[in-house]
Each structure stands twice: as structure tokens, then as C-alpha cells.
Amino acid sequence: MLCIPTVDFDVLRHMVYNQRGMTVLFSNSVLPKDCYYGGEPLGGTAMKPLLIDLDGTLYHGSHMIPEADHFILSLREKQFPYLFVTNNSSRTPEQVALHLSGMGIPADSQDVCTSAMAAARFIAEEHPGARVYCIGEEGLQRAIMDAGLQLVEENPDVVVQGIDRHFTYDKLAAAMRWIMDGARFVMTNPDLQLPASGGLTPGAGTLGAAIEAATQVKPLVIGKPSGILMNYALEHLGANAADTLVVGDNIRTDIAAGAAAGCKTALVLTGVSTRTNMEAHIQVAAVRPDYVFNDLPELLAWLER
């Protein structure tokens, strides 16, 4: 049940929404300055598990978002359980950790959960030992082999597709042939565009859209906004959804996936979703974040209070 403090004029700067879309007012003693807040506190004194997005939340491309290193160091020091959860299927967990540590963000491979890992696990559970035709890069190929699946070029049981910067017409034709012959179509993540140094580039979702158009078969999507990746991460972390906070910058992917998995969600306004477009993103995703913070320091201050 929400506790509403006495309202004064300063409180009017903190008009927010709870999960039912009702407007609720909170005083400055509850919030960091200019921080929007929705829903009830997590409650209790235990360190709550966190599932943390990467690009747009901890870094932009190869540049660390300010205080991301301090945020992760503080979580470690306070012994918050956490995982880095990414839609990026191209990198192995070791490569993700190396990318983070290269920017000064503490990371180990066991802290990483990718859409490639979740896709391989899903296929292995649904089709143990399956023959898999893979359109993807090292991270996806490695995950498939680690899951005990067979990488094949002919007669697959499953076609799994992620980002592939060497995607060709021949790969599209092969995927089309095998899917129309009955192979299951699995896509690691639906991101249509990826940020790059020269601007945006096509993402895994763009390649998947070509395969879907060719086959008229919709893929099973593993990554955000699907809850499959988040459920895999929860199992990997040994956490319950109701006790877990999903942290991300994108309402349409991070926040939607967290909600789909039954987690609380915290939006940081350091990436895709901003004060300007937040309401539009909420309308598209049909989900509202439970908590919204300007940046990681505000989120950390709230977690530590």
C-alpha cells in the first residue's frame, strides 16, 4: 500500500505514476533531486538482485557512461547480487567482460548473460542435441556448442539467427529453405538498429525481418523485450523475479522484458528513453517502469538508502 506524505508546493515537482497509472506525490525527503518515482519501494533490508543492461546504461559504444564504474564497484562492495544482461549475441561472456573492463568497469565472465547463451539453452532444453544452422558470430556459435548442440550446414532441426556482419544472400536462401522445410526459427534478439561510430547500423532484427519476409514464419524471440532472456538470467543468478530489479535505458526492451518476467524495473535516463520520449515509449511498450532515475548515481543513492 502506498504511503502518501503531506503535500507542499515543493512536492509538485515530483508528480509520478504508480503501477496502476494513478498520479502519486512524493516529498523531496524520499527522492534524489528531480528523480521520478513510481510504484512501491522494494522493501526490506536485504540486498536485492539486479539484472543490468549494458549499452545505454553502463556505456555508449566504447565510452563509459559517467559513474558506471563507481556504480558497479559499489554493488560489489555492498554485496548486491547482479548480472549484466545483454541482447548482443556476437560476443562471448569473456569478450563482454573484456569490453567492460577495458572501459574501467569491473567485470568477470561469470557476471555476463547474453541472448546467445539464453537461445542456446532454450534450444537445448526443447531439442536436446539438435542440429542447428547458425546465422551469427562467435558468441552465438560458441554458446551453441557449449550447450551440446550440433552446428550444421544441411538439414537442421533449428535455424538460429543473431547479428551477423557477414550476412549474405546465400545465408538468407539457406535459412529460407530449411525453415520452409520445417526447421524451427529462433532469433536471439529483435533489435532493428545498432549504434556504431559512424551512426546506426542494421541489427539482428533487421536480418530476422528478411528471413521472416522470405518464409512468412515468425521467429521465436529470445532476447529483450521477451521474458525468456530475463528468466534465464534469473535462474543463472538464483534469484526470484519478485525480488529482482531490472535496470536499463530502454522502455521498449529492458523495461518491457523485466515486466514480462515479473521483475521490478528501473529506467535510467542515460540512453534510448528520455524525458522527451518516455511517454511515447510507454505507449508503444504498454508498460510503465516502476522507478525512473536521471542517472546511475541517483539509482545508487536510492539503493543505498
Q: Catalytic residues, which ones?
A: 53, 55
Contact criterion met (CB below 8 Å) for 254 and 248? yes
